[in-house]
Amino acid sequence: MAKTPANTHVVIAGAGLVGALLAIQLGRRGYKVTLCERRPDPRTNGFIGGRSINLALSCRGITALERVGLADRVLADAIRMPGRMLHDEAGNLTFQAYSSNPEDAIHSVSRGGLNVTLLEALAEYDNVVMLFEHRCVGADLDAPAIEVEITGGESKRIEADYVIGCDGAFSAVRAVMQTQNRFNYSQQYLDHGYKELTIPPASECGVDPALHNGFAMDPNALHIWPRGHYMMIALPNADRTFTCTLFWPFEGSESFDEISSESAVLPFFEKHFADAVPLMPTLIEDYTKNPIGSLVTVRCSPWHKFGNTVLLGDAAHAIVPFYGQGMNSGFEDCRVLGELIDEHDGDFGEVIREFSKRRIPNANAIADLALDNFIEMRDSVANQMFLLRKRIEHALHAIDAERYMPLYNLVSFSNMPYADAQEVGSKVVRLAQNIADAIGLESGQTMSDAELSRVVAEYISKD
């Protein structure tokens, strides 16, 4: 019998952000999908996270959501962040726009809310079966099939035409692929971990609610407290709270190891994050109770085996969160896979081979960019030369948006493949640095934006 979507069975391990979006992509095209998730159904049991409470959604994620008609629904609950708000040790605030185009912004969304929205959207597809409390514990790559353990003890085998691992950074499907000949794999932990803390609504921390529409700080920014070898960031939530994430070394001076007792927390925060302390009435409790998460970069290749098993999202390419691109790149995986299905007229085996080939260089590029951006966020954003270079990048972008799109814009506000963005964006960074060197820090700092723009235009006209 000829293979059509209706008689092609795809089993997906993991109904997180990527697994759920992929199931929608396949469900819409008529595939018979079984989605197995180890956790209980978050639509009825509440979302059990374990990772960041909120996430920055940007162009690539939005484009993928548009393809399944969900972008407007998700953006309706999101909070626009058109720039960073830097907090120095004295509590001075500096806003840095992400782009010279005021339309450009990243958006803070709730991880749980987004996951539930995707699962709710799946309910309309009779061809998609969702199985919660079904943990994938193994895979048979020849069949293909997955082995699942149902909460309570029973185990079963689910056979399919194709197996897709969307089961996150510690993927069970990938673990089986790792036992195969010529499967490349690496994982690299950062020396830094993270801990989440909370800033409640203005009314609960003594801030006038009229100042920021009920928030304790300006909600339309990603707040950063850059402190050299560590930093804290805060993203707004729809309930007028902020979730702060402290990125800190595990060991050494000024680390999770060193600040481990209740009595050490407050003095440390008062010294380094003084303006945040009055906004964090539950600081000590949050700090002592909340776990420390680790940050890992996972690279592997190929992402498929035998043309019948493939990995998407963090299962294929977990990255550190400093470019806010982990979910966005996983959503882009779903879009690209969907496009390839359409291009290859449904020849799924060919689709996943091509997908793996096309996506791996891009995943490696964003993995590298995310590692680099940690240094930019925690350190460079407070460096005067860096700030001048950023102003020059914005001036170049305003002069010719197509030709001089800065790296951040290419990554966050475009769908250009990451590897191309890395190459094109690096050229703009180099050009901006050359202009900054030619102008000199002191005179650059005293120039108004209009003056700087004129000097930049003059420089490139001679270039």
Ligand X SMILES: Cc1cc2nc3c(=O)[nH]c(=O)nc-3n(C[C@H](O)[C@H](O)[C@H](O)COP(=O)(O)OP(=O)(O)OC[C@H]3O[C@@H](n4cnc5c(N)ncnc54)[C@H](O)[C@@H]3O)c2cc1C
Q: Interface with ligand X includes 309 (CB under 6 A)?
A: no
Going by their DSSP bridges, the two strands 184-199 and 162-165 should be labelled as: unpaired
- Judged by CB, which is closer to ligand X: 226, or 444? 226
If one asks whether residue 237 binds ligand X (CB under 6 A), the answer comes out as no
42 binds ligand X (CB under 6 A): no
Contacting range for ligand X; rule: CB under 6 A; set: 31-39, 125-133, 181-189, 389-397: 31-39
Number of residues in contact with ligand X under rule CB under 6 A: 34
Which of 104, 34, 24 lies closest to 64 in space, CA to CA?
A: 24
Question: How is residue 4 written in tokens?
Answer: 């059509």
- For residue 193, CA distances in Å to 87, 196, 231, 247, 249 come to 21, 10, 11, 6, 6
Minimum distance from residue 328 beta carbon to ligand X (Å): 4
**Rounded distance between C-alpha atoms, residue 109 and residue 105, angstroms:** 13
CA distances from 264 to 192, 267, 330, 440 (A): 19, 6, 39, 43
Name the segment binding ligand X (CB under 6 A); options: 17-25, 89-97, 204-212, 270-278.
Answer: 17-25
Q: Does 328 bind ligand X (CB under 6 A)?
A: yes
Nearer Cβ to ligand X (86/312)? 312
Contacts of 434 (CB under 8 A, 6+ apart): none
Q: Does residue 51 bind ligand X (CB under 6 A)?
A: yes
Beta-bridge mates of residue 418:
none
Footprint on residues 148-187 left by ligand X (CB under 6 A)? 166-168, 172
Distance CA 362, CA 366 (A): 6
List the one residue from 38, 107, 391, 397 that touches ligand X (CB under 6 A).
38
Torsion of CA 255, 256, 257, 262, to 10 degrees: 120
In the window 54-93, what residues touch ligand X (CB under 6 A)? 55-56
Residue 45's SS3 state is: helix
Q: Is 370 in the site for ligand X (CB under 6 A)?
A: no
> Applying CB under 6 A, does 14 fall inside the site for ligand X?
yes
Q: Does 17 bind ligand X (CB under 6 A)?
A: yes
Interface pick for ligand X out of 15, 176, 207, 310 (rule CB under 6 A): 15
Residues lying near ligand X in the complex (CB under 6 A)? 13-19, 36-39, 51-52, 55-56, 135-136, 166-168, 172, 194, 245, 293, 313-315, 321, 324-328, 330
